[in-house]
Amino acid sequence: MGKVTRRDFIRTTGAIAAGATLCPLAAEPMELKMGGRSVSRTTQRFHRNTYSTCLNCYARCGIIGYSADGSLAKVGGNPNHPNSLGRMCAKGHAAKDILYDPERILQPQMRVGARGEGKWRTITWDEAYQVLVEKLHALWAAKTPEKFFFYSSRDITTQRFTERFVHAFGSPHALVHAGLTNQNKRLAQEMTWGVPVEVADVVNTEYILNFGANPYEAHYLRTSFVQRLTEGRLTKIVKRQVHYGAKLVTFDPRCSQTAGRSDEWLAPFPGTDGLIALAMANVIMKENLHDEAFLRQWTNYPIDKLRQHLARYTPEWAEKESGVSAGDVVRLALEFARSRYATTLSTGGVSKHANGVQNERCVMLLNAVTGRVDALGGFCLPRTYAFSEPKPIPPRPTVKSPFFDSRSGRESTYGVFSEFAKRKDKTPPVAVWFTYMGNPAYECPQTEEVLAFFKDETRLPFHAAIDSHMTETAELADLVLPASTYLERWELESPPSMEMVPFVGLRQPVVQPRGESKPIMDLLIELAEHLGGAMTQYFTFDPEDYLFEQVSEIGALQKAGGLDYLVQKGFWKDLEAKPDYARYKKDGFDTPSGKFEIYSSRLEAMGLNPLPTYEPIDVYRDMKPTHLALITYQWNVHTHYHTANSLKLSELVHRNPIVINRSTGQAMGLQTGDVIEVLSRQGSVQGEVLLLEGIHPKVVAISDNCGHWGYGHVARGKAFKSTNPETVLLWWEKEGNGTHVNPLIAARVDRAGGGVAWQDTAVMVSKIRSKEEPGFVEKYLFFLVD
């Protein structure tokens, strides 16, 4: 059989190639030094280096803070960092815009007027603690500690610490932002192979099937990931071996930067990726190109039955539902299966649907069927270090929460918001709410209702926001506490390694905390001391002790010098460890069966289809011919909401025209630049339309990140006088700051995952007025060519 020889070939060549095809990403062939230093333009003196870790997005790249005379001159990449290799994205470079933002909150603020009126009184930290202690003691006295809610968002890494605080207080309600965004993907992966996320070994691969991911603009390991992707796509000779450039095939209703630079772009209708993947798996099984050994030994479903299950997912059905031709499905399936090294990519485009968990599992199945799981150039398990917590660890409170979500095993962030949005008359189950570096008023679906909840003093009696900026949510708080940014704090990180060797990264202050701002750890430890009682036993350390404790169980790091080493270098990796593939062969998968669960017992227990299945999305099934499907996307220069007040980033993207296919738009009598209304069952928004060729004719795309009504002058697109002379030069006042898409999106979830179905909205589009000013096309930076 052809299959066997192919597998054998991979096995024998794989070992050689393992060393050879690892591309020399970190090499420094340029004669001048690539990085690691920075020099002052005026004094020609080198800056002082502080090695740290970025947190302007989840990728957590290695950075160097370059400072002179105690202030930060610039931030650059750390060239030795094992993941980011000295490269940094636009967001990382805008660090100073966030740190030295003239609109940062630098002192505790107490509300004076009505909630949301914007009148504040500056108070001392002692006063602030007094208010908090009073409110929190009242909960203890009433024996209702579960009425304390803590929502933390963008500073993902402190979530464990905030959870410790909330649990020690006696409440189970430690809510996280991730519950709103990628929960479907995380759960799908966990139930299938026991880890929350994959690392596609793109640098060593030769074929990539990309379902709805857009790594050129956004990815959870963005800079580290995409630099290996571009490297992997080029054919070259490495150590006398040919590395064949990977072919990149992208399925995306919108021609994203990634899709536009792919070898092939195919535009399926939103939410049908799972069906395409199943049809491909079907073709591969039919042609006997599957990996018999992996399926038999490492998955929990018999091959014959799998073949039977897949038989009904024909390429023709896939064509009917998705619009991608059956011929393409067959051809790409065969190409994928016949490539020596191949992998899939998939992110929000696949899993932020009502059928998100199933979609993700269908895509994962492709890797299992072809045996690309944790293989060279394949779909790999993440390599990270686990940190330990100082003992005693507060036990999870036994109070039963109405928001407990058995799917994720924790309190559902989404559940809280949708429930609070609904219950307008009942006594609220919340008395004290903390928001840390989060902006639910802006980032939740059904914005109107969530806003109403935060404004309503009877439903939300007390709200303290801990943030560096006056976000839309902080504006509605009763007390605002100044938080230190990631450039002023101590933290430890272990993001999944792209080199397949885990490492530890350190975040340390590159400058001292500005004003009276406090790092969250210091704040919570101090608050625990003020609270006293049972809290104190869990917070008997200072932040440095906490970090020390976290890495205490990583022996090799201790030998290398522990925290001192990290402070010197910014990261640590085990130099003796070599990349190892097929790790599951040693330990199995972290699932109930120890195998890659094609048949998910967790889904079965929920009464859902345990096999990877295509479930049509009802919203789209009932769509009228005049309706369009709404999808959202991210920009390459913004992270969610929180980079919007950066001048340098908002200068590049400050508004988000509503993108519609040119033919569709012309048929409706639209022209680029016209102002249109987009209407869904949930709400309506207005904005300028941009007609592009690169989008599915039945789809409307509106980006995230724009349309702020609060936060700061820059985010709102208003020039203003400040200590920064550049803020008066803000030039896009007339253009406006775009459209906030969330009011259109209903709070619906995937039954299996509980994550929000962000991409399932049917909308109608109508023209409001013709364009007045020259439209987007005539402007800077963006051109169209026929």
Partner 1 sequence: MATGEGTFVPERGSAGHEAPQKKRYAMVIDLRRCIGCQSCTVACKEENNVPPGVYRTWVKVVEKGKYPHVSRSFVPILCNNCVKPICLLNCPVQATYQREDGIVMIDQHRCIGCKYCIASCPYGVRYVNPLKKYVQKCTFCHHRVDNGLVPACVETCIGRARIFGDMNDPSSEVSQILATEPVSVLKPEMGTEPRVFYVGLDLDAADALKTWQRAQEA
Cβ closest to partner 1, residue 101 vs residue 360: 101
Query: Cβ contacts of residue 778 below 8 Å, gap of 6+?
Result: none
In the numeric block, the tokens 């949510």 are attached to 473
Q: Measured from the CB atom, is 35 or 428 closer to partner 1?
A: 35
The piece of 253-261, 489-497, 500-508, 567-575 that touches partner 1 (CB under 8 A) is: 253-261
Report in angstroms how near the CB of residue 155 gets to partner 1 at its nearest: 22
Nearest to 159 by CA among 382, 485, 491: 491
Dihedral, 329, 212, 736, 628 alpha carbons, nearest 10: 50
User: Of 86 and 356, which has the nearer Cβ to partner 1?
Assistant: 86
Minimum separation from the CB atom of position 209 to partner 1 (A): 18
Pairing of strands 699-703, 628-633: parallel
637 binds partner 1 (CB under 8 A): yes
Burial 400-422 (b: 16+ CB within 10 A, else e): ebebebebbebbbbbbbbbbbbe
Q: Which CB atom, from 9 or from 46, has the smaller least distance to partner 1?
A: 46
Cite the beta strand spans of 541-698 per DSSP E.
571-573, 628-633, 658-661, 675-679, 684-692
Site for partner 1 contains 781 (CB under 8 A): yes
With binding defined as CB under 8 A, does residue 217 bind partner 1? yes
392 prior amide bond cis, ω within 30: yes
**Among residues 40 and 297, whose Cβ is nearest to partner 1?**
40
In order, the DSSP letters of 76-92 are EE-TT-TTTTT---HHH
How far is 687 from 660, CA to CA, in rounded Å? 12
Task: Give, in degrees to the nearest 5, the angle at Cα 564 between 75 and 77.
Answer: 20
Give the CA distances from residue 756 to residues 170, 179, 414, 722, 749, in Å, rounded to whole numbers and listed in that order: 28, 8, 7, 39, 4
Min CB(277)–partner 1 separation in Å: 20
Start-end of H helices in 72-158: 90-93, 95-99, 125-141
Q: Is 265 in the site for partner 1 (CB under 8 A)?
A: yes
Q: Minimum distance between the CB of residue 653 and partner 1, rounded to whole angstroms? A: 9
Instruction: Locate 257 and state its tokens.
Output: 């930067």
**Nearer to partner 1 (CB atom), residue 401 or residue 724:** 724
Q: Does 332 bind partner 1 (CB under 8 A)?
A: no
Among 3, 48, 96, 307, binds partner 1 (CB under 8 A): 96
> Is residue 216 a contact residue for partner 1 (CB under 8 A)?
yes
Give 692 or 752: the residue with its C-beta nearer to partner 1: 692
List 16, 234, 667, 768, residue binding partner 1 (CB under 8 A): 234
When the beta carbons of 41 and 769 are compared against partner 1, the nearer one is 41
| 161 contact partners, CB below 8 Å, separation of at least 6 | 520, 521, 524, 546
Which residue is associated with the tokens 């970190």? 26
Binding residue for partner 1 (CB under 8 A) from 60, 81, 87, 173?
87
* Cα 592 to Cα 596: distance, rounded to the nearest angstrom: 10
Distance CA 259, CA 694 (A): 9
> In this chain, which of 109, 189, 227, 346 binds partner 1, going by CB under 8 A?
227
Our finding on whether 730 is near partner 1 (CB under 8 A) is: yes
Give how far Cα 762 sits from Cα of 420, 530, 621, 704, Å.
Answer: 25, 51, 10, 17
CB of 667 to partner 1, least distance (A): 13
* One residue of 89, 139, 333, 376 binding partner 1 per CB under 8 A: 89
Instruction: Confirm or reject binding of residue 726 to partner 1 (CB under 8 A).
Output: yes
- 354 alpha carbon, distance to own chain's centre: 18
Tell me whether strands 658-661 and 628-633 are parallel, antiparallel or unpaired: unpaired
Is position 226 an interface residue for partner 1 (rule: CB under 8 A)? yes
Task: Tell me which of 725, 734, 769, 772 binds partner 1, using CB under 8 A.
Answer: 725
Nearest distance, CB of residue 720 and partner 1, angstroms: 12
Work out whether 242 is an interface residue with partner 1 (CB under 8 A).
no
Does residue 487 interact with partner 1 by CB under 8 A?
no
State whether residue 176 is helix, strand or coil. strand
Q: Which residues pair with 405 in a beta bridge?
A: 410
Stretch that binds partner 1, among 7-15, 256-264, 368-376, 453-461 (CB under 8 A): 256-264
Considering only 182, 339, 413, 661, the residue that binds partner 1 (CB under 8 A) is 661
694 contributes a contact to partner 1 by CB under 8 A: yes
From the list 62, 65, 82, 86, which residue makes contact with partner 1 (rule: CB under 8 A)?
Answer: 86
- If the CB atoms of residues 72 and 136 are measured against partner 1, the closer one turns out to be 72
Select from 158, 282, 517, 636 the one that contacts partner 1 (CB under 8 A).
636
Q: How many CB atoms lie within 10 A of CB 366?
A: 26
User: Which one of residues 135, 338, 455, 648 is an interface residue with partner 1 (CB under 8 A)?
Assistant: 648
**Which of 131, 238, 399, 777 lies at the binding interface for partner 1 (CB under 8 A)?**
777
729 is an interface residue for partner 1 by CB under 8 A: yes
Q: Shortest Cβ distance from residue 701 to partner 1 (Å)?
A: 13
Residue 22 binds partner 1, judged by CB under 8 A: no
Identify the helix (H) or strand (E) that includes residue 557: helix 555-560
261 touches partner 1 (CB under 8 A): yes
Site for partner 1 in 25-84 (CB under 8 A): 25, 29-35, 37-41, 44, 46, 74-77
Give the range of 201-209, 259-267, 297-305, 490-498 binding partner 1 by CB under 8 A: 259-267
Length of the chain: 786
The number of beta carbons lying within 10 Å of the beta carbon of residue 676 is 22
| Tokens encoding 496 | 């999944």
CA distance 619 to 289: 36
Residue 34 or 511 having the CB closest to partner 1: 34
402 binds partner 1 (CB under 8 A): no
Q: How far is CA 592 from CA 187, 194, 216, in A?
A: 14, 9, 36
The least distance separating partner 1 from the CB of residue 144, rounded to whole angstroms, comes to: 48
Written as six digits, the tokens of 312 are 């009904």
When the beta carbons of 260 and 592 are compared against partner 1, the nearer one is 260
308 by DSSP, 3-state: which? helix
Give, for 167, the enclosing helix (H) or strand (E): helix 159-169
At closest approach, how far in Å is the CB of 153 from partner 1?
A: 24
Span 266-305, contacts to partner 1 by CB under 8 A: 266-267
Residue from 80, 83, 182, 223 binding partner 1 (CB under 8 A): 223
Number of residues that bind partner 1 (CB under 8 A): 73
Shortest Å, Cβ 786 to partner 1:
4
Which residues have CB under 8 Å from 216's CB, separation 6+?
226, 256, 257, 258, 261, 636
**233 part of the interface to partner 1, by CB under 8 A:** yes
How near is the Cβ of 782 to partner 1 at its closest, in Å? 5
Tell me the three-class secondary structure of 344-359, residue by residue: EEECHHHHCCCCHHHH
| 86 vs 570, beta carbon nearer partner 1 | 86
784 near partner 1, judged by CB under 8 A:
yes
Q: Are the beta carbons of 343 and 376 closer than 8 angstroms?
A: no
Q: Is 697 in the site for partner 1 (CB under 8 A)?
A: yes
Footprint on residues 568-627 left by partner 1 (CB under 8 A): none
User: Angle, to 10 degrees, between the axis of helix 520-531 and the axis of helix 159-169?
Assistant: 10
